[in-house]
Amino acid sequence: MKFKSRVDLWLAAIIWGTVIACFVPLFIEFDWILLIVAIGMLVFIGTLWFGTYYVIEDNELIISGGIARKKIPIAEITKLTKTNNPLSSPALSIKRMEVMYEPGMQIVLISPDEQRRFIELLLEKNPHIVVDPKLLA
């Protein structure tokens, strides 16, 4: 099942405001280089925006952040914790979930839109995952 990333309104305003700001100089004075840079920015941001999602498929959690993909075997997930950590991650919201997994207790920060359903599906496939109660509140 595919889950979109939760989106914070303030973050959307900053991201898309930046894209719009790249096009403003073109209305003042047209320049091919500015046009290429603005279109490049639009493609880059669009890829991140529309390409950030999470898929629970068979026994894997697939995390997509633009063109980057990470596959985590669900059996290796040990813990889900609520966090507001602002570190760079494949998430479009600051309201995040820290996914801890083996080997080596690695973490990835995500923000699935339907968080409760997302957790339920993970637990169906691996009932040994420890879930922070704050995630279900």
- List pLDDT tens digits, range 10-23: 989 998 998 899 89
CATH number assigned to the domain comprising residue 32 = 2.30.29.30
Look up the domain containing 17 and give its range. 1-137
pLDDT higher than 90, residue 74: yes
Mean pLDDT of the chain: 93
- The pLDDT tens digits of the residues spanning 81-97 come to 999 888 888 999 999 99
Residue 12 has what pLDDT?
92
| Contact assessment for residue 53 and residue 114, using Cβ atoms and an 8 Å cutoff | no
Per the structure, how many domains does the chain have? Answer: 1
Cβ-count burial 115-131 (b if 16+ within 10 Å, e if not): beebbebbeebeeebeb
